[in-house]
Structure 1
Amino acid sequence: MTAPIPPADRRDIPSWMLIAAMFLSFLAAQYHRVFAVDPVRAVPAVASLIVLGAAGAIGRRTARPRLAAGATAFLQMTLFTLLGVVLAYALAARSGVLWDDRLAAADRAIGFDWPVVLHLLDKMPVAIWVLGLAYHSLTVQMIVVIVALSGLSRFDTLRTTVCAAILSGFVTILISGLTPAMGNLFDPDRYHNLWPSVAWLERGLITGLRDGSHHVLDLTMLMGIVSFPSFHATLAAIFIWA
């Protein structure tokens, strides 16, 4: 006899409340420097939200809890991603003095020397690929986690995982607004194997946000700009738990 599938239609109130708080935080953060949204570029994001919302509704109406749980989780994470990035943009646009020197001093105080680490890694191309793929595949990892947990009917674990990801991301973004930083910048041309860091690739974007020249949001090209604290490290811990 097939074991009953636990219901997946319990309200995810904590996650929805966090998403609402992020939206309100964005409105407050961009009060004095309003961002515009490119309407054409917003179509794919809006369409994906509609599709995910419809999938969740269909799952609930047809008593398919796995579909309902998976679609709801994807909807929440998509909203979190959109709101999280634009909130980080808004906070960067109104942030004060960069903390890079203070963060670098803190690294040195605990004996962490970035130039030495970079030089060592440059001699280990296999390690670079492993670490790089782990870093840049977090979106894929989240997709796999949601599909696996919803497919296995582990709805409580899925709900907790999504809520933890949203909460940790929200807190990380808020802290980054208080400790703005360009990130660990290094010129990749000085190394043989190191990939360009995200901070290096996004330095123009962060500068544009800070000086006001970047004020139109392209929802198809949103980039994570938070350097400190590390949301990637937080997500890795959450995935290990899940």
Structure 2
Amino acid sequence: MTDNDRLRRADRLIWALNGITAVLVVAACVGGSFHLAWASFGVVAIASALLYAAGSFYSARKEQRLASALLCTAQFVLFPALAAPLSYVVASAALPLWDQTFASWDRDLGLDWMGWLSTMNNHPGLHAIFAAAYSSFLPQAAVVILVLGLAGHLLHLRLYILSFIFAALITIAISALMPAQGVWGYFHLTPSNYPNITPVTQQLHLKIFDGLRDGTFRELVARGAEGIITFPSLHTAGAWLFIFAIWPVRYLRWIFLLLNLTMIGATPVDGGHYFSDVIAGTATAVVCWIVAGRIVHGLREEISRIENSPSIEPDMIPNSAGAVFVPVAESKPRIIA
């Protein structure tokens, strides 16, 4: 299978997953009590269509790097606009809350959430750095897509997009079965508990989350949706995927590593997550990266190609799981997926 074949296969799967997600959201409106804010979805649809058209234009001109950057941006713009409403739909199942269990898991692991909040509150300057890192999620996603596309890491770019979609769908599915309101609601926190800082999320999602569970909130929006998933943490999964994705780009890998480790450290307080959410988000990222890698590259073929390559000066880049390092050529970074 050629690289072009892999690119086409990955793109077909990514668009198919977007389509399946859209069908599920529409079905929740046609067969249920939800309704769409059409104007919100229209803006996203137009933006994605324009990006797709521009990408197709440059693809016809054989400018594959720019074409990939535009096409993958179109994919990424569309998917969150569909996935966020889907997370609202599954939350309406209103299954029993798992907050007590997640808090218990933290205690069993010796992880003190209130102690971490106190640390952030006692060091507001440090917290400001953590909060900025936590808020960098969307800008980082845009940078990863543009950099990988323009730098020519076209298969790696699809690997990133596909692994993110998998991670989002898995977290949505698990959140339906193991819903939680998060630490702000469970611990009944108020600003008096953290007078020196302003965490990013706090209780922003609780009104919507509670409304989805009791039936009083039924509007689905493509833009401006609140993150309502607690377990696993999608922010944590996304942070690891940013690290894995950007690693072949030598001049950015260490910046992204530091930035995203800081984001992960910020997730309990600024995202309102239990530590167990962070651990589960890490596991989700690793699994999704490996599975997406198998699809995009083909595990056996890729291993065979690397084993048969000539011995040269090694550089160190992460494998698909981002945890084991293998020597490969600096001029031709490879990912075992």
TM-score by length of 2: 0.65
CA contact (8 A) 2:131 2:199 kept: no
Q: Quick check: 1:201 aligned with 2:208?
A: no
Give the fraction of aligned pairs with identical amino acids, expressed as a percent.
30
Cα distance, 1:29 vs structure 2: 5.8
Residue 201 of structure 1 aligns to a residue whose secondary structure is: coil
Summarize the alignment of residues 109-128 of structure 1 with structure 2, pairs less than 5 Å apart.
109-128=108-127
Rounded to whole Å, the distance in 2 between the matches of 1:76 and 1:232 is 19
Moved more, 192-201 or 91-100: 192-201
Which runs of 5 or more residues in structure 2 are unaligned? Answer: 246-337
Which of these residues, 212, 215, 236, is aligned with residue 212 of structure 1?
215
Alignment counterpart, residue 241 of structure 1, candidates 239, 244, 265: 244
Counting only pairs closer than 5 Å after superposition, residues 168-207 of structure 1 correspond to structure 2 as: 168-185=167-184, 186-207=189-210
Structure 1 counterpart of 2:225, from 222, 226, 240: 222
* Contact preservation (8 Å) 1:8, 1:69: no
For residue 39 of structure 2, what is the aligned residue in structure 1? 40
Structure 1 residue runs without a partner (length 5+): 1-5
1:121-169 deviation line (CA, Å, top 9, x unaligned): 1111122122111111110001011111111111011111111111111
CA distance in structure 2 between the aligned counterparts of 1:199 and 1:14, rounded to whole angstroms: 36
Matched to 2:136, the amino acid is: S
- 1:181-207 Cα offsets, whole Å, 9 max, x none, are 111103234322332452511111111
Residue 82 of structure 1 corresponds to 81
1:181 and 1:227 in contact (8 A); partners too:
yes
Alpha carbons 2:44, 2:78 under 8 Å: kept: no
CA distance 1:29–1:162, change in 2 (3 Å): same
1:38-96 deviation per Cα after TM superposition (whole angstroms, max 9, x unaligned): 22333321221221121122122222212220112111112220121011000011131
Which structure ranks higher in relative contact order (CA pairs < 8 Å, sequence separation ≥ 6)? 1
Letter of the aligned partner of 1:204 in structure 2?
K
Verify: 1:10 aligned to 2:27, yes or no.
no
Following the alignment from structure 1 to structure 2, what is the Cα–Cα distance between the partners of residues 231 and 203? 17
Corresponding pairs, count: 237
Alignment of 1:132-147 (within 5 A): 132-147=131-146
SS of 1:234's equivalent?
A: helix
Which piece of structure 1 moves more, 148-157 or 183-192?
183-192
Please give the residue correspondences for 1:92-171 in structure 2 after superposition, counting only pairs within 5 Å.
Answer: 92-171=91-170
Per the normalisation by structure 1, the TM-score is 0.89
Q: Deviations over 1:11-58 (max 9, x none)?
A: 123323332343344456667633211223333212212211211221
Taking the aligned partners of 1:198 and 1:33, their CA distance within structure 2 comes to 29
